[in-house]
């Protein structure tokens, strides 16, 4: 199998991270402001993508069973979603498991490089969680990234584009409990036009984004020109 080197420094969008870098010494309250302060329409953009284009309210079965709602021939409503009770703060993630594509990998915390780029895992067999953002299971957009491949072979998220709506993602937490997310959609986007607002901005639901490189490979730079982004909702404990 022909493999290619992976982009070494993936950028989440420098303009978003000026505030976290400046206020890093002021603690978590200051850091959280970066996810609350939004340009007009940013929240609506994410809500529309999550609720309308990517996944309508799921039918009662099988998601209803995971939400603790009786299975019936009616949609799961926002009120029934509220029965899924989780703490506001979750333990850090330590493993990601995606049965549909054969992934079971450790998760390490990641931050930002000095130039504002997102750090990437040092090895190609592990994924990384963006630590300044929410932990998976908390309200907002938790982001987990991983390499697509290397000179020696496929990376942890090599088969990420194969995920389809309805596939499950299991996130194991530091306390050994596990959360189950369901894939709502995926898309390939040019890095030059990466949808920062959609991927990183705060959501009113507990959501997850998985990100890797993809698309056309530019041999002259050694970088992929696009990213694959998978969007998922939390549906309950695994």
What are the pLDDT digits (tens) for 207-217? Answer: 999 999 999 99
**Is 2 part of a structural domain of the chain?**
no
pLDDT on residue 202: 82
Domain that holds residue 131: 14-237
Strand partners, 230: 186, 210
Number of C-beta neighbours around residue 214 at 10 A: 21
Cα distance between residue 224 and residue 143, in whole Å: 20
Secondary structure of residue 41 in the 3-state scheme: coil
**Is 8 part of a structural domain of the chain?**
no
> For the domain that residue 191 is a member of, what is the CATH number?
2.40.260.10
pLDDT digit string (tens) for 39-77? 444 444 454 554 444 444 433 334 444 444 443 333 444
**Is 3 part of a structural domain of the chain?**
no
**Is 213 part of a structural domain of the chain?**
yes
pLDDT digit string (tens) for 105-151? 999 999 999 888 889 999 999 999 999 999 999 999 999 999 999 88
Residue 176's φ and ψ, nearest 5 degrees, are 80, -5
Structural domain count of the chain: 1
Higher pLDDT residue, 238 or 95? Answer: 95
**Is 230 part of a structural domain of the chain?**
yes
């Amino acid at each position: 199998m022909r493999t290619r080197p992976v982009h070494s420094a993936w950028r989440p969008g420098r303009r978003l991270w000026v505030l976290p870098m400046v206020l890093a010494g002021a603690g978590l309250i200051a850091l959280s402001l970066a996810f609350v302060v939004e340009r007009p329409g940013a929240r609506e953009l994410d809500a529309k993508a999550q609720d309308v284009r990517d996944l309508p309210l799921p039918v009662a079965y099988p998601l209803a069973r995971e939400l603790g709602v009786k299975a019936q021939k009616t949609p799961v409503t926002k009120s029934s979603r509220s029965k899924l009770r989780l703490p506001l703060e979750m333990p850090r993630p330590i493993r990601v498991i995606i049965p549909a594509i054969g992934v079971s990998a450790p998760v390490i915390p990641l931050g930002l490089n000095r130039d504002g780029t997102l750090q990437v895992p040092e090895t190609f067999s592990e994924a990384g969680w963006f630590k300044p953002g929410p932990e998976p299971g908390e309200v907002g957009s938790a982001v987990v990234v991983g390499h697509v491949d290397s000179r020696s072979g496929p990376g942890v998220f090599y088969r990420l584009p194969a995920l389809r709506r309805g596939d499950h993602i299991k996130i194991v937490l530091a306390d050994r409990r596990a959360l189950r997310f369901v894939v709502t959609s995926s898309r390939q986007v040019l890095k030059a036009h990466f949808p920062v607002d959609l991927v990183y901005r705060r959501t009113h639901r507990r959501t997850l984004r998985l990100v890797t490189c993809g698309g056309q490979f530019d041999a002259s730079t050694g970088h992929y020109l696009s990213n694959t982004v998978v969007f998922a909702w939390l549906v309950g404990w695994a």
